[in-house]
A and B are shown apart, each in its own frame.
Chain A
């Protein structure tokens, strides 16, 4: 089966972000970028499906300007076969510096168009991007395609012999874990516990440079990108300052009991 993985270029999770001067977004100049950690887990899972003989081809797709090809090449170096870049640099995005510039519904519509072209059996996405923190695209994509969804998965089993519902997944939910079985094609979103992504080796990074990468535009996919949410401003929340160091357990208990009255 063919597996499609959607990935996003985001500011590296270990970078402390700063709001830009005019309060429209965050500083992106000279900031380290990376593949969104949840997307990396999705890529890893797809490659494992290929190594296990379940997937015949792994296609990665990313939406953004030309810079996101760096993350697509990264995914190819990890073992994906082919990449699609949906170039949105021609779109007039008012708040291009904001991770909220392209709304999840627009992302889902673009990905739906790719699914119609590629007809994958499985679509893997991260459960959320660590910049916009929306946690929406997989669910929206599933609604638009009418494919079943399993979000926040921490285990995936694929068994061809179960012809009706070959997919069995474990989901991380409030209070514990939930197991579902699904028909294919299906849309899945990954949680952190699904796997530990591998590192790309230098030979694979070199090989990735010659793997196919197709560039498409929203126009070519017949998707009109519309926006319904306007970011009025972004700002830094009140900063929590360091308090004091206490020297002993007795002092700590005294403060909590008599000063803050929380115990």
Chain B
């Protein structure tokens, strides 16, 4: 019994989602050890092009048995068709295949499962044993405890539900990196371009503080207020679907059932009513603050601190108060 963790990376850096999935995988491994006489082990698979820096980082990740690298131009953009076929070939040597439930994890893993003729467990928030997990359904309003009888368990991890494993200062002694020469071309899909929203701010899913704006912010220009508050707190900027649809911010900032799931220490919701679909993405935050001019907005039902008022008066005052307090 062994676990294959698929790395999420940009050919340069191992993403924080992988570090969080690693924590889940370690829990999984501990359950396998409970039930099996032989020791289980965890291998990390890195698929990409010129992704050697990622492999180097991975050797600093405690708990891994081996780092496997498939480095080829055909895997540069991690297109689902060939990347999944490759993972499925590798998977036959493992009892579990795991990846963070990022957009690439969501894109690839169901394909891997279907190629192996097994089911998949999506967005897992708790590991109960080697075959039983908890996952949210209905926008997180219900949790389901699901037991899989598949010979290979394919699992995606909701990273906000697990703490991130840390990279050790020194590489793990005896950890080996193995290159795997297996090139599967992709004849049907061609990568054309990628538009990445550049930002100096911390990554939304990893930020300690998130300041989110909704329809109430009013315009793209006025969203600068949200950004200014986020910068003052060293946080990331999030948004409700309404703010994204209205064009105030790009789609990758959307927090919610179908956007990003975040669990920061502090979540400040500004001009967001608190629809079920938005709350699904942020209700695991430690402290929730709601700023809204509608005292009946549902967001106040889950906020630790609610401030009823006009955001255009509250936010500037809040920034001044933060200056004074620091």
Contacts and interface: CB of A to CB of B under 8 A. Distances in A.
Contacts of A154: 251
A147 B140 CA distance: 32
Interface of A: 11, 13-14, 16-17, 19, 26, 38, 98-100, 103-105, 108, 127-128, 130-144, 147-152, 154, 165, 168, 171-183, 186, 191-193, 228-237, 240-246, 248-250, 252-257, 260, 262-263
Interface stretch (B46-54, B90-98, B119-127, B171-179): B119-127
B192 A172 contact: no
A192 B243 CA distance: 13
A149 B107 CA distance: 9
B138 A130 contact: yes
Nearest to A181: B190
B306 A243 contact: yes
A253 B141 contact: no
B46 to A, nearest CB: 17
B190 A135 contact: no
Given A128-B258, A132-B137, A249-B321, A143 B114 contact: yes
A133 B8 CA distance: 21
A27 to B, nearest CB: 11
Interface in B257-309: 257-258, 260, 265-266, 276-277, 283, 286-289, 300-308
B111 A142 contact: yes
Contacts of B277: 13, 130
Interface string B120-153: 1111000000001001111111111111111000
Contact of B189 (A131, A133, A182, A192): A182
Interface residues of B, number: 89
Interface string B188-210: 11111111110000000100010
A133 B302 contact: no
A168 B191 CA distance: 10
B224 interface: no
B188 A183 contact: yes
B26 interface: no
B225 interface: no
9 nearest interchain CB pairs? A139-B110, A243-B304, A148-B188, A143-B114, A140-B114, A136-B110, A262-B266, A179-B192, A143-B111
A228 B148 contact: yes
Given A99-B137, A151-B80, A252-B307, A193 B245 contact: yes
Interface SS majority for chain A: mixed
Nearest to B205: A174
Given A135-B122, A178-B193, A105 B114 contact: yes
B27 interface: no
A134 B154 CA distance: 13
Contacts of B104: 173-174
22 contacts: A13-B277, A26-B142, A103-B119, A104-B119, A108-B114, A130-B277, A134-B122, A135-B106, A135-B110, A135-B123, A140-B111, A151-B107, A152-B103, A177-B251, A181-B190, A228-B150, A229-B150, A234-B142, A234-B143, A235-B142, A255-B305, A260-B266
Nearest to B316: A249
B244 interface: yes
A262 B143 CA distance: 28
B321 A144 contact: no
B5 interface: no
Nearest to B301: A242
Contact of A131 (B137, B192, B193, B209): B137
B322 interface: yes
A156 B252 CA distance: 19
Contact of B287 (A105, A137, A192, A262): A262
B118 interface: yes
A104 B143 contact: no
Nearest to B120: A136
A6 B179 CA distance: 41
Contact of A148 (B81, B194, B266): B81
Contact of B318 (A176, A180, A253): A253
A173 B149 contact: no
A110 B130 CA distance: 29
B241 interface: yes
A103 B104 CA distance: 21
A17 B258 contact: no
Contact of B136 (A143, A231, A237): A237
B194 A262 contact: no
A139 to B, nearest CB: 4
A65 B68 CA distance: 46
Contact of B119 (A19, A127, A229, A254): A229
B142 A236 contact: yes
A19 B257 CA distance: 19
Nearest to B199: A175
Contact of A172 (B137, B191, B251): B251
Contacts of B288: 240, 243
B298 to A, nearest CB: 10
